[in-house]
Amino acid sequence: MINNRVEELCDLHTNLLNEDVQKIKEIVVNLPLIADLNKANVFIDCPTREGKHAIVVAEAAPTTANSVYKKPVVGKIAYEAFEPSVFFTLRTGKPMFLNRALTQEGKTVDQSVVPIKGSHNRVIGTLIMEKDISEQLISQNKMEALSEATETLSEILIGMTENKPIIPEVIEDALFFIDPSGKIIYSNPAATNLIEEIGERQSNIYYDLIHYFPSIKDILDNPEELIVEEVKIFGKIFQVKKIKLGQQEKPNGTFIILKNITELREKERELIVKSVAIREIHHRVKNNLQTVASLLRLQMRRGLPEESKVHFVESLNRISSIASVYEIILSSSSVDEVDIYSLIEKIGNMLVYEAEQDNKQIHMNYSGPQLLIHSSKAVSVALVINELIQNCVKHAFHHTSEGTIEVHFQQKDFEMVIDVIDNGVGYSLNAKPSLGLDIVRMMIEHDLSGQFKIERAEKGTIASVKFPIEKEAVHG
C-alpha cells in the first residue's frame, strides 16, 4: 500500500524513471527500522518535475521516541526556503549531517540528509532524518541562562559554539556581529557581498568594521545600546542599526545591520519634486482662471447689452467653479485630490451670494460624507454642481423671493450619488432645452461615465447624478 503511494506520487510530480522509483521503493521498506534505530523521523524527498521544489514521497515515525510531526507530511511540497539542506544535497549529491533546522510545526531538530542515487550516479532523491532537540535546547538554555544570559544569547544567535548559524542566510540586510574591540566575528552573505562591492577581498573580512565603513565610527563610539541612523556610505544611503549585547561594564558584542535605502530615498525625492511641480501647475491654473474671471468682470463693468449680461454671468460662474477645485487642492495637504463636500459647499455659497445681489433669499443645505476624489473628476463634478444649482437659482423661484436648495450626496459601493433638490415651481417636461442642462448631460455621460435624471417632485424639482468613483477613493 505504501509503495503504491510512492509510485503514484512519483508518477504525478517527478520525472523519475521506473528503475529510479523501484530503488526508492526498496528503501521505503526499511524506513520504519531506520526510524526506530535512530529514534528519529525519516523521510524521502524527490525533486519535482520543474526542479524548483521537492515532494515528500514517504515517511516513518519512530516507535522508540516521540514523533517530531503530529500530522503526516507525505504528499506535501518541500520548499527550498524551509529545507536548504535537502536542496543542497539534491543539487550537489553531498550529504549534510546534524544541521539544525526548524520544522513547519515550530520544533527545532537536528537534520541529516544523504543522497539517494540511481544509475550513472544521478541523484534521484534524499533520505532525511530529523531528531527533535527542542526540549534539549530548552534545558540547555535554562542552564546557560543562570550563568551568562546575554552571552548565551549572542552565542546562540551567531552559532559560535557549533558553527551552525540560526540567523537566516537569506536575509537581505547586511548583518555584522563585532566584538567589543570592533573586530568582525560574524557576517552574513549580504554583509560579505557588501564588503566585496567596495573592493575588499573576502579573505580579509575579519578586519575591524570601521576599516570598511569609516563613516559609522560615531555610531560605534556612541555608548547608547540601540541606535538607528541614516549614513552615507560610498555615495549610497544606508540605514544603520546598532544593537549592543550585554551590560555597559561587560559588553558581549554588537550587532550592526546595514540596509541600503538609496533607491527608497531617491523615489521619495522624486515624489517630492513631482508633488511640488503638480502643486505649481495647480497654482498657475488657478491664477489663469482667476485672470479670465477678472477680465469678464471688467468687461461687465464697462457695460454690456442686457441680453448678453446673463451669458457673461453664467460663464463667470463656470470659470469660478473650476477655479474652486484648484483652490481646495492648494489649501489641503493632498496634491491631486479634492474633498467633494468642501467643493460643493464652496460653489453653492458662491451662487447663493450672487442671487442675494438680485434680492432673492435662498437657503442652502448640504449633507454627505467627506470624500476625496481625483482632481480630474472634480473639475467635471464642479461644472455639474454649478449648472444644477445655477439652474435652481435661475428658474425655480420666479414667483417668490425666497427658497431652499438642498444638495445631498453619498457613496453607494463604488458609485457617487448626488441629488440637488429645490422647493420651487417644479420642472416642466415641456421646458425649453437649456445650455446648462446640456453641459450637465455631456459632463456626466462623457467625462464621468454616469447617469443624469431630472424630474418634478411633490414640491419643486429633483436632479439626480450618479457616476462611478475609483475604488481607492477614501473618506476624509
Please state the three-class secondary structure of the chain as a single string: CHHHHHHHHHHHHCCCCHHHHHHHHHHHCCHHHHHHHHCCEEEEEEECCCCCCEEEEEEECCCCCCCCCCCCCCCCEECCCCCHHHHHHHHHCCCEEEEEEECCCCCEEEEEEEEEECHHHCEEEEEEEEEECHHHHHHHHHHHHHHHHHHHHHHHHHCCCCCCCCCCCCCCCEEEEECCCCEEEEECHHHHHHHHHCCCCHHHCCCEHHHHCHHHHHHHHCCCCEEEEEEEECCEEEEEEEEEEEECCEEEEEEEEEEECHHHHHHHHHHHHHHHHHHHHHHHHHHHHHHHHHHHHHHHHCCCCHHHHHHHHHHHHHHHHHHHHHHHHHHCCCCCEEEHHHHHHHHHHHHHHHHHHCCCEEEEEEECCCEEEEHHHHHHHHHHHHHHHHHHHHHCCCCCCEEEEEEEEEEECCEEEEEEEECCCCCCCCCCCCHHHHHHHHHHHHHCCCEEEEEEECCEEEEEEEEECCCCCCEC
pLDDT at 145: 47
Does residue 141 sit within a domain? no
pLDDT at 199: 59
pLDDT at 472: 44
CATH number of the domain enclosing 26: 3.30.450.280
In angstroms, how far apart are the furthest CA atoms of the chain? 109
- Would you say 337 and 377 are in contact if contact means Cβ atoms under 8 Å apart? no
pLDDT at 159: 52
411 and 322, same structural domain? yes
Does residue 138 sit within a domain? no
Identify the burial level of 464 via C-beta atoms within 10 angstroms of its C-beta, where 0-12 means exposed, 13-18 middle and 19 or more buried.
middle
| pLDDT less than 50: residues of the chain | 145-150, 152-153, 156, 160-162, 164-170, 201-205, 472-476
Does residue 346 sit within a domain? yes
Domain boundary residue, one of 66, 100, 132: 132
Domain boundary residue, one of 67, 101, 132: 132
Write the pLDDT tens digit of every residue in 391-444: 888 888 877 878 899 999 888 888 889 999 998 888 877 777 677 788 888 888
154 and 120, same structural domain? no
359 and 303, same structural domain? yes
pLDDT at 168: 47
283 and 344, same structural domain? yes
Write the pLDDT tens digit of every residue in 121-138: 999 999 999 988 877 776
Does residue 397 sit within a domain? yes
439 and 388, same structural domain? yes
**Contacting residues for 83 by C-beta, under 8 A, at least 6 apart:** 45, 54, 101
Does residue 8 sit within a domain? yes
Q: What is the C-alpha to C-alpha distance for residues 389 and 20, in angstroms, rounded to an integer?
A: 82
CATH number of the domain enclosing 244: 3.30.450.20
446 and 340, same structural domain? yes
Does residue 179 sit within a domain? yes
- Tell the residue number behind the cell numbers 568582525, with chain if given: 184
pTM of the model: 0.42
Does residue 320 sit within a domain? yes
Q: Tell me which amino acid residue 235 is.
A: G
418 and 290, same structural domain? yes
Domain of residue 86: give its range: 2-132
349 and 288, same structural domain? yes
Domain count, the chain: 3
pLDDT at 275: 65
CB neighbour burial string for 202-232, b if at least 16 within 10 angstroms, e if fewer? eeebeeebeebbeebeebbeeeeeebeeeee
Write the pLDDT tens digit of every residue in 271-311: 766 666 666 665 677 677 777 777 777 777 777 777 777 77
- Take residue 193 and report the three cell numbers written for it: 557581498
Q: Tell me which amino acid residue 395 is.
A: H
271 and 125, same structural domain? no
- Take residue 161 and report the three cell numbers written for it: 559554539
218 and 77, same structural domain? no
Domain boundary residue, one of 260, 291, 307: 260
396 and 285, same structural domain? yes
- Take residue 370 and report the three cell numbers written for it: 467627506
Strands across the sheet containing 250-260? 184-187, 174-178, 250-260, 236-247, 226-233
Does residue 271 sit within a domain? yes
CATH number of the domain enclosing 384: 3.30.565.10
463 and 379, same structural domain? yes
pLDDT at 48: 93
The number of angstroms, rounded, from the C-alpha of 279 to the middle of its chain's C-alpha atoms is 26
